[in-house]
Structure 1
Amino acid sequence: MVVLVIAAYVTSRYNWMTCHVCLGRCILTLLIFRILWGFWGSDTTRFRQFLVRPSTALAYARGFFSQRGVTHIGHTPAGGWMVVAFIFVLSMQVLTGLFVNNDVVRVGALFGIFSANTVDAVVSAHGTLFLLLMFFVTIHVAAVALYWIVKRQNLVRPMATGIQYLPPGGEKPGIMSMRRTVSLFLLSVIIATMIGQL
């Protein structure tokens, strides 16, 4: 997802809109997969597993520096809401992209449905949402750095590999089968393709 978002930004800057649209569809596919995975995936990826009340997440964030020895299996209370924020902003980014056009080519799958003024507003929102996404990315990177500096916890390795070393006595979370993973991914491809052909 990180590589796709960076590539989408580069292609938009250079006005390579055909590639930009293809990247947008790939991002949409991964977003759909992540949402499906949040309901039927492995234990640590399920929304019900890591989403807590906002007040609980805020209390965790406020006590960050006093909770030195706490290790969470999967997402932390605040990290879970960051996942939701990323999914929401990226989803809005992709959905507004379905209406986008420029002077070179009419690229959005849903271009032409709304009036020119409405499309202009959506195009503006498409750019603003990217700035909001970068804001969340900055917060996320800063949080990962703080975990390393303050708690001496390396969050990059588990995010990159999916492997986390459990604390003593920690219960191993359930991992979904490869068959379910492939099935959900193929379903995501089908849904994204259908949306792209509207």
Structure 2
Amino acid sequence: MDKPSESLSPATERLPVQVWDQSVRIFHWLIVGLVIGAYVTSRYNWMTWHVRLGQLTLILLIFRILLGFWGSETTRFRRFLVRPSSALVYARRFFSHAGTTHVGHTPAGGWMVIALILVLSMQVLTGLYAYNDVAQVGPLFGIFSGDTSNMLVSAHRLLFTILMTFVTIHISVIALYRIVKREDLVRPMTTGIMYLPPGFRKPRLICASRALSLFLCSVVVATLISQL
């Protein structure tokens, strides 16, 4: 694993630098909307729409994984993943480093990204087999026996609870960054801009054509998975 995202000391003068490209920002906010939509459609038993949202989520998750290998510098796994022990040390020292800013994901934040991707991916994949008492709508429903399908449906529901736990932790940490470090993590993920000291090396970002190519690849892969 490469070293974690570069950290900076506070500076009196900072300049706007784009650290998140448009593709990862669109992914982030679409995932937020799709998770909310999946919850609403499940609550009201709109299972056809629920599955469609799940299929869209699968496309976006594959897209994010591809970005992790071929995307912008700040989105690549090798850029922000560190040893788990290093992430734990960072988390324990969170309150003693109120003035430190990380460009891209923090050591602990990088592992939260992986956790969210894994849990949401497992939830989507188990959801491909889901059904309710009225409609059998999972695109892969029928591959396994009824008992196995029931087990996958139970896992699907449990994974949503786990996902909401991670989301709650994620939101709480964002709030702590705002309170403790006086750092707004929402704005950079909306605008792509962070304010950094002059002379700091700008992260390398991919062009729109590569992002589109990776997205089209994710559509193809998701379609193949849904047609297994």
TM-score with structure 2 length normalisation? Answer: 0.85
Which consecutive unaligned segments of at least 5 residues does structure 1 have?
A: none
Matched residue, 2:26: none
Task: Tell me, yes or no, if the aligned pair for 1:148 and 1:154 is still in contact at 8 Å.
Answer: yes
Equivalent residue, structure 2, for 1:18:
48
Partner residue of 1:126 out of 156, 160, 169: 156
Q: Are 1:71 and 1:167, in contact at CA under 8 Å, matched by a contact in 2?
A: no
SS in 2 for 1:165: strand
- Match for residue 68 of structure 2 among 34, 38, 42: 38
For 2:191 and 2:224, locate their aligned partners in 1 and report how far apart those are by CA, in whole Å. 31
Higher strand share: 2
Q: Which structure has the higher relative contact order (CA within 8 Å, separation 6+)?
A: 2
Instruction: Tell me the residue number matched to 1:92.
Output: 122
Residue 223 of structure 2: aligned partner: 193
* Gapped regions of structure 2 (runs ≥ 5): 1-30
Contact kept in structure 2, 1:100 and 1:107, CA below 8 Å: yes
| 1:9 maps onto 2:39 in alignment | yes
Structure 2 residue 138 is matched with structure 1 residue 108: yes
In the comparison of the two structures, how many residue pairs are matched?
198
1:47 aligned partner = 77
Aligned to 1:181: 211
Report the Cα offset of residue 102 of structure 1.
Answer: 1.2
Greater helix proportion: 1
The corresponding residue for 1:60 is 90
Alignment correspondent of 1:70: 100
Quote the sequence identity (%). Answer: 68
Deviates more, 1:154-163 or 1:4-13: 154-163
User: Following TM superposition, by how much is the alpha carbon of 1:197 offset from its aligned partner in structure 2, in angstroms?
Assistant: 2.2
- The equivalent of 1:29 in structure 2 is 59
Two-structure CA RMSD over aligned residues (Å): 1.0
Query: 1:81 is matched with which residue?
Result: 111
Quick check: 1:109–1:196 contact (8 Å CA) kept in 2? Answer: yes
CA distance in 2, matches of 1:168, 1:138: 35
